[in-house]
Amino acid sequence: MFDNNGSFLLAMFEFFVFFAWFMGLFWIFGDLFRSKDIGGGAKTLWTLGLIFVPFLGMLIYLVARGSGMTERALAAQADLQKQQDAYIRSVAASDVSKASAAGEIASAKALLDSGAINATEFEQLKANALGKGVASPVG
């Protein structure tokens, strides 16, 4: 297949160019469909242009919309970061409430073991800690 080193190097260069074009195409399609400032019709026309005239379509896209590609990518990353932070806060809050309920039950169990409260009062404190009962002072 490769007669000499030159044909091997040419094949490697062709593979590199094809791979770079393919990555650029994915990058452009990602930017195109992430973009909120153009409608579906324009996205369709850009897609058809990129499919039927790939190299020219990519060059025209980069000239026409390339300046905003970084801003759109950063905005998408910021949005994902906000969603992730909100999820982490919600999970952490539920873990804290579970930990505080477990702490209250452990304290009530210690009071029951020491004889400071009876079994009925312990069950009432446990229900209050789990959010199942009506809060009432135990004396």
Task: Give tens-digit pLDDT for 22-79.
Answer: 999 999 999 999 888 889 999 999 999 999 998 899 999 999 988 888 888 899 899 9
Q: Looking at the predicted structure, is the pLDDT value of residue 16 above 80?
A: yes
- The pLDDT > 90 percentage for the chain reads 36
Q: Looking at the predicted structure, is the pLDDT value of residue 122 above 90?
A: no
Chain mean pLDDT for the chain: 85
| Per-residue pLDDT at 18 | 93
* Secondary structure (3-state) at 90: helix
* Secondary structure (3-state) at 68: helix
Domain annotation covers residue 139: no
Domain annotation covers residue 137: no
27 touches 60 (CB < 8 A): no
Domain annotation covers residue 77: yes
Domain annotation covers residue 87: yes
Domain annotation covers residue 122: yes
Domain annotation covers residue 102: yes
| Per-residue pLDDT at 78 | 94
Domain count, the chain: 1
User: 139: part of which helix (H) or strand (E)?
Assistant: none
**Cβ neighbours, 10 Å, residue 135:** 9
Domain annotation covers residue 99: yes
| Per-residue pLDDT at 23 | 94
Question: What single-letter amino acid sits at 28?
Answer: I
Average pLDDT over residues 132-136: 51
Domain annotation covers residue 119: yes
* Domain limits for position 43: 5-129
- Please name the residue ranges forming H helices in 1-139: 5-34, 40-52, 54-65, 69-114, 119-129
